[in-house]
């Protein structure tokens, strides 16, 4: 079903299983057990070597809470920077000090995604199960920004805090947060004690409406961090940015646990091998079950929107019995109401440019990766793209075939109008 890559494009690395919060919504599959594992220095060195050897484009340092292991997190950051691998960090920021923020910045870190579950101090404490978490996270955001680290915030939405969405975004805006995500709770694969937190389809869709309104009101960038079925979103003209997300678990991404176990994504519990004992490319090939379509629900397999949608989240689908069940937010009867986003206009008379990008070879040609887009091309397509690095160009300066290809890059959002 999916084009097989020789290795993942992006990888999440869990520095430790431990966390100084105990969020009610946490999807970590180990959370009810004793979480003591962490990556030591030899393991970190081995992992970064494997990531570099396999031409991984993007790494997220995460946990647990990575700042519970500050020395190891700094080491991982420095090694990734030395290897030329783009990376960011997920952290609740409760432990971020000015000294640590400065050291992380020097080690190459530029962006942090933090979790912020409510503007209401008591509700924040209720969800994180920590009376000090609110003030610590707020201070962490301030420290990060003071040291040149960009902070994005994600609000995990549940029945407890769904009513706080609008005011939480407004509060974070006063702290200087310009990138705000609000993502429905994703339960652990065994559904331990979280059913009472789950949102209805209607509540999830209304959260998208609220996000779009907040984007206009506050002048911020909004998004979601999980893939929602298109038959939930439906209106691509109203929600264009939410349409672009699809499940990449085992397709272009994976997670390395703090014991070295490689999983399709951070939500999944099943491991396919250990990067501390095997090469990543060998483990990656074992994930064919995530690429051959066997986990796609039968009702989704006949839907012509499947290539864009991928059927939602396979771990969330366990709510309905198993990974090949329907995503709880899916409603196949609504597929006839799906409207795609409007295509970007392509103008022959204006100058375009390409963003900085990386590429790597694949059996079919190349994969192009940038902050704007990631896509496959054949050798002829790569030759065109490579020849246009750091240049501006007019579409009408090329033959018909090349112009069609460049128009496709514009519609992908990879090529954009050059500054006047």
Instruction: List, for residues 3-15, the tens digit of each pLDDT value.
Output: 899 999 999 999 9
pLDDT at res. 34: 57
Q: Is the pLDDT of residue 280 over 60?
A: yes
Residue 30 pLDDT > 60, yes or no? no
Q: What is the chain's length?
A: 420
Q: Identify the residue whose tokens are 């069609």.
A: 404
pLDDT value of position 190? 59
31 pLDDT tier (thresholds 50, 70, 90): low
What is the C-alpha to C-alpha distance for residues 209 and 190, in angstroms, rounded to an integer?
Answer: 30
Strand partners, 114: 153
Instruction: Confirm if 284 and 271 have CB atoms less than 8 A apart.
Output: no
Give the mean pLDDT of 161-166.
98
Confirm if 140 and 92 have CB atoms less than 8 A apart: yes
Run of H or E including 394: strand 392-394
Q: Tell me what pLDDT residue 192 has.
A: 61
Is residue 378 predicted with pLDDT exceeding 60?
yes
Q: Determine the 3-state secondary structure of 169 from DSSP.
A: helix
- DSSP-derived secondary structure letter, 195: G
Can you give the pLDDT at residue 36?
64
pLDDT at residue 35 above 70?
no
More confident residue, 416 or 188: 416
Instruction: Single out the residue of 91, 8, 92, 12 nearest to residue 55, CA to CA.
Output: 8
| CA dist 227 → 71, 232, 257 (Å) | 33, 11, 22
CA pair distance 126, 353, nearest whole angstrom: 49
Angle at the Cα of 9 from the Cα atoms of 23 and 37, rounded to 5 degrees? 40
The domain segmentation of the chain, as residue ranges, is: 10-199+247-292, 351-417
Given this model, what pLDDT does residue 187 score? 76
The Cα 94–Cα 341 span in angstroms is 39
Stronger pLDDT, 349 or 50, i.e. the higher one: 50
- What is the rounded CA–CA span in Å between residue 245 and residue 343? 16
Task: Scan for tokens 């240049």, then name that residue.
Answer: 391
3: three-class secondary structure by DSSP: coil
Side-chain-side CA neighbours of 370 within 13 Å: the count stands at 15
The pLDDT of residue 194: 80
- DSSP string spanning 240-292? HHHHT----BTTTEEEE-TTSBEESSTT------BTTTS-HHHHHHGGGGGTS
Compute the mean pLDDT over every residue in the chain, rounded to the nearest whole number: 94
Of 241, 234, 228, the C-alpha closest to 316 is 228
Q: Element (H or E) spanning 416, and its range?
A: strand 416-417
**For 10-199+247-292, CATH number?**
3.20.20.70
Residue 203 structure tokens: 């509540």
Bridging pattern class, strands 365-369 and 58-62: unpaired
pTM over 0.75: yes
CA separation for the pair 122, 134 (Å, rounded)? 9
DSSP 344-382: PP--TTSEEEPPP-EEEEETTEEEEE-SS-EEEE-HHHH
Of 346, 411, 412, 417, the closest CA to residue 373 belongs to 412
Q: What is the DSSP letter of 71?
A: H
Looking at residue 343, its pLDDT comes to: 82
What's the pLDDT tens digit per position in 293-332? Answer: 999 999 999 999 999 999 999 999 987 788 999 999 999 9
Cα–Cα distance for residue pair 160/198, rounded to 1 Å: 9
Give the pLDDT mean for 233-242: 95
Q: Which residue has the higher pLDDT, 123 or 372?
A: 123
Residue holding tokens 């896509």? 375
Q: Alpha-carbon distance 90 to 114, whole Å?
A: 6
State the CB neighbour count (10 A cutoff) for residue 73: 29
pLDDT beyond 60 at 219: yes
């Amino acid at each position: 079903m999916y084009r097989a890559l020789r290795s993942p494009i992006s990888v999440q690395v869990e520095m430790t299983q431990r966390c100084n919060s105990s969020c009610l919504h946490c999807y970590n599959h180990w959370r009810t057990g004793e979480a003591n594992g962490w990556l030591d220095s030899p393991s970190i060195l081995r992992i970064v070597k494997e990531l570099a050897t396999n031409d991984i484009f993007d790494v997220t340092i995460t946990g647990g809470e990575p700042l519970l292991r500050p020395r190891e997190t700094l080491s991982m950051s420095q090694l990734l920077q030395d290897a030329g691998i783009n990376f960011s960090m997920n952290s609740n920021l409760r432990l971020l000090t000015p000294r640590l923020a400065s050291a992380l910045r020097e080690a190459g870190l530029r962006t942090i995604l933090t979790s912020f579950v409510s503007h209401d101090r008591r509700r924040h404490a209720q969800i994180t199960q920590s009376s000090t978490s609110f003030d610590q996270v707020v201070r962490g955001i301030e420290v990060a920004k003071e040291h040149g680290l960009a902070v994005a915030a994600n609000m995990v939405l549940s029945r407890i805090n769904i009513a706080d969405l609008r005011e939480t975004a407004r509060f974070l805006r006063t702290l200087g947060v310009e990138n705000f995500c609000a993502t429905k709770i994703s339960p652990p694969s065994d559904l331990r004690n979280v059913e009472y937190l789950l949102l209805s389809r209607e509540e999830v869709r209304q959260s998208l409406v609220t996000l779009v309104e907040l984007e206009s009101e506050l002048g911020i960038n909004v998004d979601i961090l999980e893939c929602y079925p298109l038959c939930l979103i439906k209106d691509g003209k109203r929600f264009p940015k939410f349409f672009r997300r699809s499940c990449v678990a085992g397709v272009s991404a994976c997670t390395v646990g703090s014991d070295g176990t490689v999983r399709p994504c951070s939500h999944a519990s099943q491991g396919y091998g250990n990067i501390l004992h095997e090469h990543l490319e060998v483990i990656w090939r074992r994930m064919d079950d995530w690429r051959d379509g066997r986990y796609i629900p039968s009702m989704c397999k006949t839907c012509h929107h499947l290539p864009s949608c991928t059927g939602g989240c396979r771990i969330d689908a366990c709510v309905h019995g198993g990974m090949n069940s329907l995503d709880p937010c899916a409603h196949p009867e609504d597929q006839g109401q799906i409207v795609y986003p409007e295509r970007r206009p392509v103008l022959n008379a204006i100058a375009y440019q390409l963003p900085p990008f990386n590429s790597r070879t694949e059996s079919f040609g190349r994969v192009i990766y940038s902050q704007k887009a990631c896509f496959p091309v054949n050798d002829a397509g790569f030759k065109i793209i490579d020849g246009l690095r750091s240049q501006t160009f007019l579409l009408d300066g090329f033959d018909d075939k090349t112009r069609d290809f460049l128009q496709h890059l514009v519609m992908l959002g990879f090529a954009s109008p050059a500054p006047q």
